[in-house]
Amino acid sequence: MMKQVQKVAEQTQQLEEELAGQRVEASSGGGVVKAVCNGRGELLEIKIDPQAVDPDDVEMLEDLVVSAVREAYEKSNQIREERVKDLTGGLNIPGLF
C-alpha cells in the first residue's frame, strides 16, 4: 500500500510539472483580447489589440479582459480535472490538488 501511495505522489508531482508547462489560450471580442493560462490555472499573459482600446469605453475593454481570462481559466481547470481523473482512475482524493 505504501508503494502505491508513493507512486501516486510521484505521478502527482510529475502531473503538476506538466500542467505548469502547458499553455491554454482563450480570446474574446473576436480575438482582440487574448488570455493565456498554464494548466494549473495561473494567468501567464494578456494580449490586447490596440484597436480594442477606446478611451471613451474602458468598461467594454474591461469586460473583454474578464471574459478572456475567465474562459482561459475554465479551459485550464477542465484540462487539470481530466488529467487528475486519469491519474486517480476517477477517484476523488481530497487535497490531492
DSSP state letters, 15-73: HHHHHHH-EEEEEEGGGTEEEEEETTS-EEEEEE-GGG--TT-HHHHHHHHHHHHHHHH
Q: Which residue carries 476517477 as its cell?
A: 90
For residue range 29-76, what is the model confidence (pLDDT) as tens digits? 999 999 999 999 999 999 999 998 999 999 999 999 999 999 999 999
% of the chain beyond a pLDDT of 70: 91
Q: Which residues lie below 8 Å from residue 34, measured CB to CB, with a gap of 6+?
A: 25, 26, 27, 46, 47, 48, 68
**Predicted confidence band of residue 96 (pLDDT cuts 50, 70, 90):** low
The neighbouring-strand residues paired with 37 are 24, 43
Q: All domains of the chain, ordered by start, with CATH?
A: 27-88 (3.30.1310.10)
What pLDDT shows up at residue 89?
A: 78
What pLDDT shows up at residue 97?
A: 54
